Amino acid sequence: MTRPSNAPFHGFEWPTWLLAACVYLSWGLVVGYWSVLENRFGIAALLLLICWYMSLQHELVHCHPTTSPRINRLLGLAPLAVWYPFDLYLHSHLIHHQDEHLTRPGIDPESNYLTAAQFAALPSWQQICWRWQRSVLGRLLVGPALTILPTWADIVRKPLRGDWSQTASWSQHLLLLACMLWSLQHWAGINPLLYLLIAYPALGLAMLRSLYEHRPADRPAHRIAINEAGVFWRLLYLNNNFHVVHHETPTMPWYRLRQTYLADRAGYLRRNGGFLVPGYGHLIRRFSVNPIDSPVLPEELIPAARASVH
């Protein structure tokens, strides 16, 4: 699989500018009118908006809506999603796009899998968590913790090992986060703990998209899914459910992914080995409790992940 070009998309991306304005304005309105909103409505709205903001950050990583990394970074710097700095996400996500290493533990930072040795070394309760996070409910409930805890532990662990590469990003992020949480408490009457409790399931909802967008397979192209989701999910995830289209052309803007897929549906499904999911409703109905697959990457696929031949 030839690694696709990451050259910026040229042209004025008014849909992405409109999206960014909509996300920020909607978040501001919910926060600003928090005292007059019914609590359940406000919580649900914030949860969806935080998840949507994470989808926007994904677009910013891939050179949208401008070709200027500095401008895109400024658009994604706000700590609305709480759990990680934008710079950390940018760096790790671009590594994820080395398709020859998709799903490989230790190389793909977004892998849902462990090696057999890594899994065996875990205490039994962590093994249960890793198995359960391969289901929908597990993904929503324990998936965020499996991401947040090691990510935040690195704030301390990496400097202790002499690695200060993320310290500036974390310092900036934590300062902005502290300012945001103080402002929410002072100006909107939103308890900081409540905001964190909303941001946790928002991350889980964002992670539902990636529950089964990659699978173990010999060919890198066969590891990337197409999920023919409905309108709600397509908008929430900004068409990233058409994931093989995104991986083949990472800088294609979100609003062109669906039409590009539909124009060559048979071709995409041929190239990805027929890895098709018929919507997130299908995953919810069939895999709410039961794991969709094992969290252990088959050993025979690890050498195959070292070099891309397709």
pLDDT digits (tens, 9 = 90+) for 202-216: 999 999 999 999 999
The residue assigned the tokens 């969290």 is 295
CA angle centred on 302, ends 296 and 304, rounded to 5°: 140
Which stretch of 34-43, 148-157, 210-219, 288-297 has the lowest confidence by average pLDDT? 34-43
Kindly indicate the confidence band of residue 38, based on its pLDDT and cuts at 50, 70 and 90.
confident
Please tell me the predicted confidence (pLDDT) of residue 14.
96
Identify the CA nearest to 201 among candidates 97, 298, 83, 78.
83
Mean pLDDT of 184-188: 96
Percent of the chain with pLDDT over 90: 91
pTM score, whole prediction: 0.93
The residue assigned the tokens 């030839």 is 2
Please tell me the predicted confidence (pLDDT) of residue 239.
99
What is the DSSP secondary-structure string of 217-252?
A: -SSGGGGB-EE---HHHHHHTTTTTSHHHHHHSTTS
At 303, the amino acid letter reads P
Please tell me the predicted confidence (pLDDT) of residue 303.
61
Mean pLDDT of 92-104: 96
Residue 193 vs residues 167, 178, 182, 190, 270: alpha-carbon distances, Å: 24, 12, 11, 8, 47
- Enter the tokens of residue 158: 């990496």
93: buried, middle or exposed (CB in 10 Å: 19+, 13-18, 0-12)? Answer: middle
Query: Half-sphere exposure of 277 toward its Cβ, with a 13 Å CA cutoff?
Result: 28
Please tell me the predicted confidence (pLDDT) of residue 62.
98
> Is the pLDDT confidence value at 82 over 90?
yes
Alpha helices in the chain (DSSP H): 14-32, 39-61, 69-76, 86-96, 116-121, 124-132, 136-141, 143-160, 167-183, 192-208, 231-236, 243-248, 254-263, 265-271, 280-287, 301-304
